[in-house]
Amino acid sequence: MNLNDLLNHRSEWLKGTGPHSDIVISSRIRLARNLASAPFPHWSNKKQGRDVLDAIEQAVGKINYLKGTTIFELADLDSLDKQFLVERHLMSYGHAHKTNSKAVVIDNEEIVSLMVNEEDHIRLQVMQSGFNLFEAWNIINRIDDCLAKELSFAFSLDYGYLTACPTNTGTGMRGSVMLHLPALVIIGQIKQVLNAISKLSFTTRGLYGEGTEATGNFFQVSNQVSLGHSETEIIENINGLIRQIIEQENQARETLMSKNKSVVEDKISRSFGILKNAHIISSQETTELLSMVRLGISLGLIKEIDSSSVNELFIITQPAHLQKLENKKLSSQERDVKRAEIIRDKLNKQ
Amino acid sequence: MNLNDLLNHRSEWLKGTGPHSDIVISSRIRLARNLASAPFPHWSNKKQGRDVLDAIEQAVGKINYLKGTTIFELADLDSLDKQFLVERHLMSYGHAHKTNSKAVVIDNEEIVSLMVNEEDHIRLQVMQSGFNLFEAWNIINRIDDCLAKELSFAFSLDYGYLTACPTNTGTGMRGSVMLHLPALVIIGQIKQVLNAISKLSFTTRGLYGEGTEATGNFFQVSNQVSLGHSETEIIENINGLIRQIIEQENQARETLMSKNKSVVEDKISRSFGILKNAHIISSQETTELLSMVRLGISLGLIKEIDSSSVNELFIITQPAHLQKLENKKLSSQERDVKRAEIIRDKLNKQ
């Protein structure tokens, strides 16, 4: 697989399928693992980092489930490629910088990604479309078992998996769910919901993970604690919380439709109209307007386009995607023009 | 003719034809005349007002050129009808209030309108589409000659036609031209142009005449002085000024297209997109967006609709028109919904 192959390909997790996919974009499980034989990445010297990468690369090659994957060493990628992978949620922003034997392993469907020498030796991630944490868990658990047969992980009987940052120690697992909560935002109840989430020891982030702001009414909710509970208990906890949020968002949508239908219809329809007609559009405005279109599809107010196409637009209108599609470096102004062009093409074709 | 007949009829002056109709919406000449036999309207008692109305009604009936006209006494019209006539530019806002033997005479094509007992006994107006003051003058002059044969006008050899307000004395004529100057507004030169206009003893007003603000980049320019020059001299003066403004607007449009094409294209296309999709829209926003669409048609950026349809939308989306179309009283909120519906219908049908 070449990185450019991904460009015209719709990631599995963007397909807009799976349970509650009108509210839950995607479910993600990631595991942090470290080799017992080497210091954590930021304590490793060059040789140690290289040895870790070689060992993991070898292990991956032996695992049947990972047969269809490709390994990209970050030293071989230019900054555009790296940004491209971050935009596709295949690796973290932090992983794109500093390149001591870093790599990322990706499968064709973009369900599995494995970062080597990020904060931990291994950051394994499995993404699923919709509200589907257990399915993601089943896949990642199988891969983890295979990896454990090939590699000797740093593990303590008292603490569980040892990780570079103590907050990940234990299961080394984080489950997160990307939620689209426009109705709770519009009726002004989102603050309450976010407060409740943080009191229950979960964290909320924006579209691009740690440190990013919530735009377009997207909220990524994940567990903070990974110690003292089994993986399935943690997932069950997240699921319980997410079910409540889904219920609240659904109620908010009903409220909107019963009390403010024409205002909502106006907002949604205008957003769609602007996207179909703009010739210059920023990334921020795109996210906000697409968010309204996504709501419109869920509410049955927009029928010309499916949510899978909208999900895809969120991804391909980002800076690195635009530049790879155009196959050249684009200034911010040029990107705003290209972005508008792509959106017009997609939405007017439907 | 019934007032409702006008509802689905496109006034002659809205046809978007005539010289320079991309910049000049319409040209209008009005004459102020008073009968020598009666005091000015605001000094008249009931009987005197009635006598004036009867005399004018009789005269109108005898004039061949006015055969196709209908006379509406304002006492017979409800407030919606009156507002409707104001919105169609067939009578002044002031004429709609206080009803001492007031009337308005209108022809089917809405080229001619004659207000009885407004500020003067007779306010005769002729409208033409595009930059066409002399054509309007030819028509109004013919009608004025016919009226003069039937009625004895207050006229002084020293001052010319006598009028209720001294600013109209002399020719009693005002020529005005409705201009659409979006490019001068966008590139920030409009203030300069308006200053120059006022220094040359012309006045600038908004869409609805005296006391109204300029919205949607529409400016009505007319002569201030009606004394000391012949009618054709006054018209030639206005024409000279308007030709310069047209030239400046055309230059501004060229500047926009050569230096800021994508920004302009974006603004125009978004405006069109919002109009085609909004479900709630105010009168003010409608005017502003239609103004951009009109510019888009002139610049060849919008081809799905002609400027005549846009001109018509300016008129039929106004409050009284909406209520007459819906055939019932509508609240401001209801009008915003109905307005959006009409605009969507018209623009998406094209």
Q: For A281, which residue in chain B has the nearest alpha carbon?
A: B266
Chain B nearest CA to A271, separation (Å): 8
* pLDDT, one tens digit for every residue, chain B (350 residues): 888 888 877 888 888 888 999 999 999 999 999 999 999 999 999 999 999 999 999 999 999 989 989 999 999 999 999 999 999 999 998 898 877 899 999 998 999 999 999 999 999 999 999 999 999 999 999 999 999 999 999 999 999 999 999 999 999 999 999 999 999 999 999 999 999 888 888 888 876 555 556 688 999 999 988 888 899 999 999 999 999 999 999 999 999 999 999 999 999 999 999 999 999 999 999 999 999 999 999 999 999 999 889 999 999 999 999 999 999 999 999 999 999 999 999 998 86
Using an 8 Å CB-CB cutoff, list chain B residues near A272: 277
Q: Do A277 and B265 touch (CB under 8 A)?
A: no
Using an 8 Å CB-CB cutoff, list chain B residues near A266: 278-281, 340
B40: CATH: 3.30.590.10
Q: Which of B219, B252, B285 is the last residue of a domain?
A: B252
Structural domain of B335: 261-348
Same domain flag for B98 and B207:
yes
A277 touches chain B (CB under 8 A): yes
B261 touches chain A (CB under 8 A): no
Same domain flag for A279 and A243:
no
Question: Shortest CB distance from A273 goes to which of B276, B280, B337?
Answer: B276
| Measured distance CA(A272)–CA(A288) in Å, rounded | 11
Mutation target vs B (from A256, A259, A269; most B CBs, 10 A cutoff): A269
pLDDT tens-digit series, residues B175-223 = 999 999 999 999 999 999 999 888 888 888 876 555 556 688 999 999 9
Between helix B79-87 and helix B319-326 the angle, nearest 10°, is: 120
Buried b (16+ CB within 10 A) or exposed e, B100-121: bbbbbbbbeebbbbbbbbbbbb
Q: For A262, which residue in chain B has the nearest alpha carbon?
A: B279
Find the distance separating the first CA and the last CA of chain B, reported in whole Å.
Answer: 29
**Tell me, what's the ipTM?**
0.84
| Measured distance CA(B86)–CA(B123) in Å, rounded | 14
Same domain flag for B90 and B230:
yes
A301 touches chain B (CB under 8 A): no
Same domain flag for A38 and A73:
yes
Same domain flag for A245 and A266:
no
Chain A nearest CA to B279, separation (Å): 4
Same domain flag for B286 and B240:
no
Same domain flag for B10 and B66:
yes
Same domain flag for A112 and A137:
yes
B167 touches chain A (CB under 8 A): no
- The predicted pLDDT at position A216 comes to 86
Q: Which of A203, A221, A252 is the last residue of a domain?
A: A252
Q: For B272, which residue in chain A has the nearest alpha carbon?
A: A277
β-bridge mates for residue B218, sequence order: B180
A269 touches chain B (CB under 8 A): yes
Q: Do A266 and B280 touch (CB under 8 A)?
A: yes
Chain A nearest CA to B206, separation (Å): 28
Q: For B279, which residue in chain A has the nearest alpha carbon?
A: A266
CB atoms within 10 A of CB B237: 17
| Measured distance CA(B289)–CA(B215) in Å, rounded | 11
Q: Which of A223, A252, A281 is the last residue of a domain?
A: A252
Whole-prediction pTM value?
0.88
Same domain flag for A141 and A38:
yes
Chain A nearest CA to B280, separation (Å): 6
Q: For A264, which residue in chain B has the nearest alpha carbon?
A: B279
Domain count, chain A: 2
pLDDT tens-digit series, residues A113-133 = 999 999 999 999 999 999 999
Same domain flag for B285 and B216:
no
Residue A126 neighbours by CB under 8 Å, 6+ apart:
A28, A29, A30, A111, A112, A136, A137, A139, A140, A143
Using an 8 Å CB-CB cutoff, list chain A residues near B272: 277
Same domain flag for B60 and B21:
yes
Same domain flag for B176 and B267:
no
